[in-house]
A = this chain, B = another copy of it.
């Protein structure tokens, strides 16, 4: 493919945007064939500025859980925009959304709303410190909890003091958590953890239920706050919270991404014990009370609750996983598919530097399947059996290309 329009946009962007683009959507970091710019999206299809259409397995990097431009969500937003969005005070839909979150999320007695996943993780840590009067926060080595100095994976511009009260454990290794907790002593404020290990540049790792239960017990015993960073998984795996199937409930959860099918929103939910602390911290933003994204969230969560959307996502993910496994085998490749089927990742066995995997995702991209070599993908409720089968026809060509 020669993406003339994309090439032109990239050239223009290099003059006016540092590095041409920044953050997780910088395509140059993970693909030689995928375009940097996108013109539109509809359901599970996205189209670039040169008119090439892709079956989308990133879903806007997670937010688009129902499909691009889902009619119910779009209508809710349009109706709210007819009334107003950024007013002097909240709109009634804020109360409606908070009530819906409390009713939907198993551990939630209250909700606060924000804009970025990082807002929600940062507020969670701050609430935990305010509640406990302690400082130390434990997180897993390699985990992603946002992109500000206390947690960003790149340390340019970060000072040592930004992370003075963080300590680290290994995911699924309870002994390492206990050791970190011992180091924190009576200054342990919180443990923050993702629902499963979905760090970039490695296979995903499902959570050992014993690990989750052990974290819960440790927090109960020490009076520390258990924070589940459900930003990436939330509202895609289990509507009540991603650890609900294991029966382990956090004290605080951070949410964003899929909460409003692509509209900018984040949330913290918490238990009654943390309500006072949540009301004592001061965190806010110019657009945190804006109504349109809240209307989108009410529509999205309602659709997820009242339809079989989550089952369809799991079904599509399983169909994709089964198909890719069969295809790889047929072409003589050993692949490792990891993580929940709703958030899959495929890596070629032994391909520790992702060279072969990236060749494959590039070949898939060139055939109109948008997947990532080392960050988990996302399925959505708009992926039908027919979409998956069409995607598999194309990935078959990608596998075949690797054998040539």
Across the interface, do A290 and B264 meet the contact criterion of CB distance under 8 Å?
A: yes
Can you list, as one digit per residue, whether each of A249-265 has a CB less than 8 Å from chain B (1) or not (0)? 00000001100001110
Hey, which chain B residues are within 8 Å of A83, CB to CB?
39-41
**Is A284 an interface residue when CB atoms closer than 8 A count as contact?**
yes
Most chain B CB within 10 A, of A63, A64, A95, A231, is at A95
Among A88, A95, A110, chain B packs the most CB atoms within 10 A around the CB of A88
Residue interface bits A48-65, CB-to-B below 8 A is 1, else 0? 110000101011111110
Residues of B within 8 A of A126 (CB): 148-149, 156-158
A152 interfacial contact with B, CB 8 Å: yes
Contact A16 to B165, CB < 8 A, known contacts A39-B84, A39-B92, A92-B39:
no
A48–B92 CA distance with the chains assembled, in angstroms: 10
Interface size class of A (residues with CB under 8 A): 35 or more
A116 to B21, CA, bound (A): 19
- Interface residue A350 (Cβ < 8 Å from any Cβ of B): no
A359 adjacent to chain B (CB < 8 Å):
no
A55-102 contacts to B, CB under 8 A, are 56, 58-64, 68-69, 74, 77-78, 81-92, 94-95, 98-99, 101-102
Given A116-B119, A279-B22, A286-B256, A130-B156 contact (CB < 8 Å): yes
- Residues of A285-321 contacting chain B, CB below 8 A: 285-290, 293
Q: How far is the CB of A236 from chain B (nearest CB, A)?
A: 13
Residues A149 and B122 in contact, CB atoms below 8 Å apart: yes
15 additional A-B pairs beyond A24-B284, A34-B89, A37-B94, beta carbons within 8 Å, are A17-B110, A22-B279, A34-B88, A37-B90, A40-B83, A41-B84, A63-B286, A78-B78, A86-B262, A117-B286, A129-B158, A147-B282, A148-B283, A149-B150, A161-B161
Can you report 20 residue pairs joining A to B where beta carbons are below 8 Å apart?
A: A13-B90, A16-B95, A21-B90, A22-B278, A34-B89, A37-B90, A39-B84, A41-B84, A42-B84, A56-B88, A63-B287, A64-B86, A69-B82, A115-B264, A116-B287, A116-B288, A126-B149, A152-B281, A154-B281, A159-B165
Residues of A whose CB lies within 8 Å of any CB of B are: 5, 9, 12-13, 15-19, 21-25, 27, 34-42, 46, 48-49, 54, 56, 58-64, 68-69, 74, 77-78, 81-92, 94-95, 98-99, 101-102, 109-112, 115-119, 122, 125-130, 135, 147-150, 152-154, 156-159, 161-162, 164-165, 231, 256-257, 262-264, 270, 275-290, 293, 370
